[in-house]
Amino acid sequence: MPSAGSAPAPVPALSARAWGVSGRSCRARVPWCRASPRCRRSTWLRHASLLRLAIHGTRPRSLIRPDRPDTPWALLLVLCGTIFLEGIDVAMLAVAIPSIRADLDLSTGTAAWVMSAYILGYAGFTLLGGRAADLLGRRRMFLIWLTVFMLFSGLGGFATEGWMMIVARFVTGVSAAFMTPAAMSIITTSYEEGPQRNRALLVFAGTAAGGFSLGMVIGGLLTQLGWRWVFFAPVLLAGALLVAALRLLPRTGATAERPEKTADGFDLPGAAAAGAMLLLAAGVVRLEHGVSGWPLTAGAFAAGLLLVYVFVAVERRSPAPLVRLAIFRRASMVRADLGALLFVGSFFGFQFMATLYLQELRGWSSLETSFALMLMGLDAVLAPTLTPLLVNRFGNMRVVLGGFVAAIAAYGLFLPVSDDWSFGMMTPTLLLTSVAFALAYGPLAIAATDGVAPREQGLASGLLYTATQFGSAIGISAVTAVYGLASATGADGALGAFRAALVVPVVMVVLGLVITATGLGRGQPRASQSPDALDSTRRPTAPASAAAGEVATSGD
């Protein structure tokens, strides 16, 4: 120990390479940094913190973890661009389906399969895609499947037959199933758990909803030029994102090429058994046919459930399972995934029926309908601005419950709709729907990934997206089945059938409220305290983040 007033002991001269700044300089004048005078602010702040730690034995709250690379907000912009691309792609196609059907002379069933093929590919492979990001590399999976998404979106624009369109949409859905969990897991592993990650996830969620809402308007405009532009426009956006991602996605750290190497390799039997998701998704999609064709629907469900049993048996015995079944012991994650399934299902079911009401019952054009439903896209503004403040103030789960309550109010206000309602009478429902999505969707994503170990963030993201895709399929299929059944048996005509179908979103969101409410008052353990959150690959000497515990992330 140096005596009072004496100079501090000299700091060992470590090479700049040891701190990842080879070829750069530290403006903090740290003795061991010996490069030229151009170093990023984050780097020299980190060095200043380490110097203070070495000399005084203290660590300021702004210390940046040496084992985590700098995460610029430009990276978040690229990742949000990906989910925006996915949302806008789906919405534009939904608006363009009538034009595609007329131009290619498609049957009603073939036109429905153009939409269903994407859902099958997405829902059937999301779980596998999320785990592949953990095992094969998040950066690698993101770049490869973004490229595939771009190519097959463009190929869809050149389709001249229905089967060509269906194949292109199926592969596009598969690529989204690998791309979006990789993007979300990059966010959850690149930002410290706490307020910073929460804001990033809320921006990500708001961008997804904004892409869907804006896509409906853009789809209506592009359809006026020609429906093929609905497929070519995403190619341009995907190309720009690919160029930016190649530059901004780091090759080390959270997005490493091979972040996890297992001696037993990839679980191929488990990956094959994951095809159960595809059959279950097919069964869900066929629910819209009601009692007609029930043998095929029942067969798809039976085969899917059988494969689920095989999948669980394989994973229990595998030395390197595709899905570590113990992850389902995290009650908060399971509640969040089930809540997301029901909430997203209710949203898409309501959106589908609202579109049907405006176009078929009221005779509005697709463009007029798109502009009317844009009010539901206000959550793109609310999610990154208002929701973080509410989460920090009231806790994550209370905000989620507020979103469910707002959704119940929104759908309930629309139940007595008549064929002479003005747009002003519909406005409260549309505004409340946007508020509900802003309050529920992003915080559900936080709850689904909070406290999960970095090596399983891709799996957690895959589970969440599997739930949301199944939810959207269930919501649309359920309202379609109820609408068809009520139209065939009811005496009130189309309006009565529409009101009957609107009960489905209300029931789904009430069930979601009950499930998520069971977690109220059960605080989520911090990542540092949770056994699942312990990363065995992290060096024991790495300092903990001071920001991790600043704000409770999953609520009360």
Question: Hey, where are the domains in the chain?
Answer: 71-250, 269-323, 326-520
The number of helix segments (H) and strand segments (E) in the chain equals 17, 0
Cβ of 278: how many Cβ atoms within 10 Å?
20
Q: What is the dihedral of CA 306, 310, 312, 315, to 10 degrees?
A: -160
Task: Name 316's Cβ contacts closer than 8 Å, sequence gap at least 6.
Answer: 325
Task: Name 50's Cβ contacts closer than 8 Å, sequence gap at least 6.
Answer: 19, 30, 63, 66
Write b or e for each residue in 475-501: b if 16 or more Cβ atoms lie within 10 A of its Cβ, otherwise e. Answer: bbbbbbbbbbebbeeeeeebeebbbbb
Contact 141, 129 (CB under 8 A): yes
Q: Read off the amino acid at residue 485.
A: L
pLDDT of residue 535: 35
Residue 545, by phi and psi: left (phi above 0), alpha (psi -120 to 50) or beta? beta
pLDDT of residue 407: 96
pTM reported for the whole predicted model: 0.73
Helix (H), strand (E) at residue 514? helix 493-517
In the chain, what are the helix, strand and coil shares in percent, each to the nearest 5? Answer: 70, 0, 30
Q: Own/partner pairs for 42-46, CB < 8 Å, 24+ apart?
A: 42/70, 43/19, 43/70, 46/19
Task: Name 237's Cβ contacts closer than 8 Å, sequence gap at least 6.
Answer: 81, 84, 85, 88
Task: Name 514's Cβ contacts closer than 8 Å, sequence gap at least 6.
Answer: none
Write b or e for each residue in 67-92: b if 16 or more Cβ atoms lie within 10 A of its Cβ, otherwise e. Answer: ebbbbeeebbebbbbbbbbbbbbbbb
Q: What is the CATH number of domain 326-520?
A: 1.20.1250.20
Contact 486, 358 (CB under 8 A): no
pLDDT of residue 290: 60
Structure tokens at 66: 């040496």
DSSP annotation of 261 reads -
162-190 helix and 108-136 helix, angle to the nearest 10 degrees: 30
Structure tokens at 207: 């961008």
Distances (CA, A) of 525 to 202, 331, 517: 21, 12, 18
pLDDT of residue 242: 94
Q: Read off the amino acid at residue 376.
A: M
> CA triplet 527, 316, 278: central angle to 5 degrees?
90
Task: Name 324's Cβ contacts closer than 8 Å, sequence gap at least 6.
Answer: 315, 456, 459
> At residue 170, what are phi and psi to the nearest 5 degrees?
-65, -45
Instruction: Tell me the H-state helices in 450-492.
Output: 457-489
- Residue 461: burial class (beta carbons within 10 Å; 0-12, 13-18, 19+): buried
Angstrom distance (rounded) from CA 469 to CA 23: 46
Distances (CA, A) of 431 to 94, 379, 396, 409: 22, 9, 22, 11
* Fold match flag (71-250 vs 326-520): yes
Write b or e for each residue in 439-460: b if 16 or more Cβ atoms lie within 10 A of its Cβ, otherwise e. Answer: bbbbbbbbbbbbbbbbbbbbbb
Structure tokens at 290: 């009601």
Angstrom distance (rounded) from CA 178 to CA 16: 37
Superfamily in which the 71-250 domain is placed by CATH: MFS general substrate transporter like domains (1.20.1250.20)
Give Rg (Cα) of the chain.
25
pLDDT of residue 3: 47
Q: What is the pLDDT along the chain (556 residues), one digit of tens a residue?
A: 444 444 444 444 433 333 343 434 444 444 444 443 444 444 444 444 444 444 434 433 333 333 344 456 788 889 999 999 998 998 888 888 888 888 888 876 677 788 888 888 888 888 888 888 888 888 999 999 999 999 999 999 999 998 999 999 999 999 999 999 999 989 888 888 788 888 888 888 888 878 887 888 888 888 888 899 999 999 999 999 999 999 888 775 555 545 445 444 556 666 665 666 677 777 777 776 666 667 777 887 788 788 778 878 877 887 777 778 888 888 889 999 999 999 999 998 898 888 888 888 888 887 888 888 888 888 888 888 899 899 989 988 899 999 999 999 999 999 999 888 988 999 999 999 999 999 999 899 999 988 888 888 888 888 898 889 888 888 888 888 888 888 877 656 788 888 999 999 999 999 999 999 987 655 444 433 333 333 333 333 332 333 333 323 333 3
